[in-house]
Structure 1
Amino acid sequence: MSAHQMARMAELENQAFALMGRLHVALRRETGRITDVEYMRIDPDYCRYLIQLALQSSNPEVQKIGERLDTIYFDEAGLFMLEPPKPPLLAHRNLAASATSPIAPPAPRVAIQKLAQNLPPAPTIPATSSAPPESSQHYVGRLR
């Protein structure tokens, strides 16, 4: 894929994301329906379904958004037509987690005990009286 094609795809993805956000808000206000913008970006079936909802809307702004999203995603040079859909973000996380090595075993306790023996003793803090302070010394008393 050339740099020009990659730049064009990035531009289309930015436009699509902005339009999906507007569609989400419009459908939420109009029908009370909550949509998933990230899932719409990666799943062609869900994207088609929400575009159909937008095209069936009585609001002309929502219809325009649906038409533009249809062009961006399903036109001949659309995002879903140029490359396979991107996998969900959780799939990336699961692949990364399975590719990492197991957790290293903890350090032996003997080495930690030797380090603790070489430390100087902790300074002692003198004990304070347990009598309650004067009322003027309380936080609220000082505010008055």
Structure 2
Amino acid sequence: MPEADKLAIAAHLHVLLRRKTGRVTDTEWMAVNAEYALEIVRFARQHAQEDNVPELAEWAARLDHAHAIHAPAPDAERRPLLDVAAQAVRQRIAPSPEVPRYVGGIR
């Protein structure tokens, strides 16, 4: 699914959660991070049932489908989100081996 569609679903769910539960979410992170989205889907479904808000369950299902989220296996390796984010940042800023480096200076 295109990122723009995921972002639109995340934005709609964000507004619903804010109005119905007071919960503030990170829309952009929800659109790109499946683990965060899974937690938001769980939260939305829980409150849809507890507070009798079927619209929350509907949009949670849309986000679930957008990410094709499946709960991790119980024995799956889980890493703290901070570790995953730090690794992604290191990979993003690590220089590419084919990028020439200038030694000395420009003459």
Which residue number in structure 2 is paired with residue 4 of structure 1?
A: none
Give the alignment partner of residue 63 of structure 2, picking from 50, 59, 69: 69
The code of the aligned residue for 1:24 comes to H
Partners in 2 of 1:62 and 1:75 — Cα distance? 17
Question: Is there any run of 5+ residues in structure 2 with no aligned partner, and where?
Answer: 71-83
Alpha-carbon spacing, 1:98–1:22, altered in 2? closer, same or farther (3 Å): same
* Equivalent residue pairs, number: 85
- The superposition leaves residues 32-88 of structure 1 with CA deviations (integer Å, 9 ceiling, x where unpaired) of 111112222333222111111222212222211111111221269xxxxxxxxxx86
Contact 2:10–2:28, Cα closer than 8 Å, also in 1: no
Give structure 1 regions of 4+ aligned residues with deviation exceeding 6 angstroms.
Answer: none
2:21 is the counterpart of 1:24: no
Question: Is there any run of 5+ residues in structure 1 with no aligned partner, and where?
Answer: 1-8, 77-86, 106-144
Partners in 2 of 1:26 and 1:52 — Cα distance? 14
Partners in 2 of 1:42 and 1:53 — Cα distance? 18
Which residue number in structure 2 is paired with residue 49 of structure 1?
A: 39
| TM-score, structure 1 as length reference | 0.45
Alpha-carbon spacing, 1:53–1:96, altered in 2? closer, same or farther (3 Å): closer
Partners in 1 of 2:29 and 2:19 — Cα distance? 20
- Considering only CA atoms, is the larger Rg found in Structure 1 or Structure 2? 1
Alpha-carbon spacing, 1:91–1:28, altered in 2? closer, same or farther (3 Å): same
Partners in 1 of 2:92 and 2:41 — Cα distance? 33
Task: Give % identity.
Answer: 30
Alignment of 1:1-144 (within 5 A): 9-10=1-2, 13-56=3-46, 57=48, 58-74=52-68, 91=88, 94-99=90-95
